[in-house]
Each structure stands twice: as C-alpha cells, then as structure tokens.
Amino acid sequence: MSLDAMTRTRTETDSLGSMQIPVDAYWGIHTARALENFPISKRPISVYRDLVRALAMVKQASARANKEIGVLDAEKADLIDRAAQLVIDDQYHDQFVVGVIQGGAGTSTNMNANEVITNIALELAGREKGDYDFLSPIDDTNRSQSTNDVYPTAVKIGLSLDLQTLLEELDLLRRAFLAKAVEFHDVLKVGRTQLQDAVPMTLGQEFNGFATTLGEDYNRLLENRYLLFEVNMGATAIGTGITTHPDYSNAVLRHLREITGLDLELATDLVESTSDTGAFMSFSSSLKRNAIKLSKICNDLRLLSSGPQAGLGEINLPARQAGSSIMPGKVNPVIPEVVNQVAFAVAGSDLTVTMAVEGGQLQLNAFEPVIAHSIFQSITWMRRAMHTLRVNCVEGITPNRERLGAMVGSSVGVITALTPFIGYAAAAALAKTALLTGRNVADLVVEAGLMSREEVTKQLSPARLSGLEAITAAIPVVGADAVSEKPSAPDLDDV
C-alpha cells in the first residue's frame, strides 16, 4: 500500500461509531477495531494460508446456497462467489490482517473475511470500496451465517487441507527411513535395552522400526482427520438456526462438499455441535502423538551418533554447522535437536487446546481462536521439521561399519544366539570370561570345544543374529558343567 493511499481514507460506520479506514484497504471498520483491540500475537491470520482459503470457501458456498434458496439476489451472490474464488486462488491474503489470538470467539476473523470479500466484489462490480449500500458485508456476504458456525467450520476445513501437506511430508520422511533400512540391511550392531548391551540386530532393522512407527502415525492422523468433517453450518448463533431458511443447511453443505472435495457432514445436533470442541482436542492429541514419537526417533539418532570418539559413534549425521564457538572441530546434531524442540512446542500446544476445550461455557466455546492457532502452528512447524529432518539429516546418514563390527565381535550379547546349542549355564560362564578378558566370544566357544568354528560362524552370521534367518537344525545342547561357572583369572597381558 502506498504512503499516499495510507494517508487517504474512507469513512466507515458500525454500531459503535465511525472510523477512518485507509482508502486502499479491503478490510473495514470491524477489522480496524480488532487491530486496535488485539495487538497480542503480532501474527495475522494470513500466516495460515489454508484457514484463509477455508473462510473463502465457506463464504462461496453460502453465497451459492443463498442464491439457490432465493434469499440473496443472484447478482450479489455471483459477485460474492467470484470474489471468494479469488481468495481461494491465493489472492488478497495480505488483507487478512486480524491477529490469530483474539476475543469474540472468532468474530473478528469472520468480519475480516466478510469485509475483504465484499470489497473485492464491489471492485468487480465497478464500485468503490466501502459502498455497502450496494453490497453489505453483514446483510449479504454474511447472509444466513453467524461467526459461531462459519468460524469452526472454516477452521475444520482449513485444518483438513493443511493436514494433507503434513501427511505428504510425513510419508516422504517414512520413505527416507525405509530407504536407509534397505541400505543398512547387512550392517550388524548391538541392540540395547535400558541403555545396556542386549542382543545383536542390524542397523537396517533399527531404521525400519523408525519407518514403521511413522507409518502408524500416518494412519492415526488420517483417522482423526474424519473427526473434523462434522460441521454446524446453519446453526447460526447457538444451534437453533435463527435467521436461516429451513433449506439452507443442506444446500450449503452440498456446495461445501463440492468446493472443498471433503466428505463433510452436517451435525445431527446443531446445538451440541456449536458448543462442543472435542474434535479439536482429539485431533490435537494425534498430532502430539506423532510429535513425541518423532522426538524419540531424534533422541535415538543423537545417541547413535554421539561422540564421535567418546560416544557410541555408530552412525554419522551430516555436518550442518560448526558446533561451538570455543571448541574447534565440534559438530552438533542440530537437526534432530530442532525437531525435539518442535515436539516440545506441539506438546505445549496440545495442553493449550485441552484447556481451551475445557474452558467453554454453555452454548459456545469462546476460545476457538487459540485452539485454531495452536493446531495450525503445530501442523506448520511439524511439516517444516519433518522436511529439514529428511533433507538435512536422514538422507545423509552413514554407518561406521568398522566400529559396529568391532562392537558386535566383542559383545557378550552374541552368545545369546548360542544358548540353544551350548546351554544357558555354559553361555553365562563364557560371557563372564569374555567380559573379564575382553576376548572374542566365538574364540572362547571354540576353544572350550563346545562348537566347531564352522558351527559358530554359521550361528553368528548376520542373518541369524538379527533373526532374519531361522535356526533350521539344532546341535545337541552341551551340559551345564561343560564350562566352569567361575572363569579363571585372566592373564594380565590379555587385560
């Protein structure tokens, strides 16, 4: 907007009085009051593209329904329809300026949409902005509607649209982990439980587990998405449908389904649906689940890459930035770390949603703006976090094969694979010896005469250690007394 346009104004009037509005602004007096009243977040609703598009979809569907049932002049309805389509097509989003956090249960957002779409329509008709005698934001663009059905419906549609982009990124991340699982399918390592050495597995199995858990979250998010498909259009103020035509609800639902491509359905009890925000809580919870599980994966990546000399050092994460202003050469796992922080924020947002849902009173929940902001922010941050994790971390992970091989070779955990052949007591005795002397378990088993080198090598193959290949033939189990329970003291030269 030019400086000249900002200094030139038009006068608009509401029930509280008159205000001067910048002449080039598509928003009007109701938006101007919101800008004065709610300088809280300093983030306009336009930061959430799909929310703005969803608002326009609701206005477009309402215009078509009102025209169809004969409560709005066809010329006016068509102008509103055309103006809304421009917003759906990502134009004029900079005019959606009210803050994401606001009082009034979303009234400021609804009026911002009414004013912008009306003034776009006025221009399409060759009229001046603010010529509300010809086309009114309230009497025409908001016909048959209330904030209390428009706002929650738009939020649900916007979240459904926004979720699709998150699901696409989630699936790309799952596929990235799956590709690494295939790449690392033959890399043996020591599995761990309670941070202690357990039994062998492959690095591929570990990464396949990451892919599987993300796939499960994909399905949970899809399931909870359907909770958002129940809308309350036609409820108006509290669900009684006051000021609406009896045919409006079904007409607007039909048009909304066509415009959005979503399987929306009308709530069976509009009074209950207008006051209940439980769907948002369930949906937010599924986002939190995904975020927390993703954070756990990032914890594992940080542990596996720790070191590189004094930690586990099993894998290498791509070096993304110098890690210290004082320690030369230090590289930190900054990508998993930022994803961890996003998960913490999503968990906090979920608590905000929970408290806001609980805080509703009687026939309306006044706190839907913070619910909407919290969930939209969670989706946005998670989508971006998944993208940077995939592109800047997962796709570039490499294994430290020699280190992993050495740890498997010296791990007493591998003897677990031999217990079906030498017995638990003999295996325990040899495990103690291996721990005391640091010697290779396989060598100790062969030296004790419990199994031949060929048999040991076969049973300790990567496929059998990782469980990918089943044991097909059993060797007679050696008696428990074959190996002394108390290993001899190690030679000091061997320690």
Residues 111, 115, 117, 121, Cα dihedral to 10°: 150
Cβ neighbour number for residue 330 with a 10 Å cutoff: 10
CA angle, corner 307, sides to 301 and 310, nearest 5?
140
Helix (H) or strand (E) holding 4: helix 3-7
Query: Which residues are paired to 322 by β-bridges?
Result: 331
How far is residue 219's CA from residue 197's CA, in Å, rounded to a whole number? Answer: 33
- How far is Cα 188 from Cα 301, in angstroms, rounded to an integer? 17
Of 267, 229, 275, which is closest to residue 250 (Cα–Cα)? 267
Here the contacts of 129-135 (C-beta below 8 Å, separation 24 or greater) are: 129/10, 129/23, 129/24, 129/25, 129/26, 130/10, 130/11, 130/12, 130/21, 130/28, 132/12, 135/76, 135/79, 135/80
What is the C-alpha separation between 381 and 169, in angstroms, rounded? Answer: 12
Buried b (16+ CB within 10 A) or exposed e, 68-85: bbebbeeebbbbbbbbbb
Helix, strand, or coil here: 479? Answer: coil
Nearest 5°: phi and psi at 230? -85, 120
Residues 447 and 456 sit within 8 Å (Cβ to Cβ): no
Longest dimension (CA), the chain: 101
Q: Which two tokens stand for residue 99?
A: 């803050």
Catalytic residue list contains 324: yes
Q: Which among 324, 349, 378, 466 is annotated as catalytic?
A: 324
Catalytic amino acids? 324
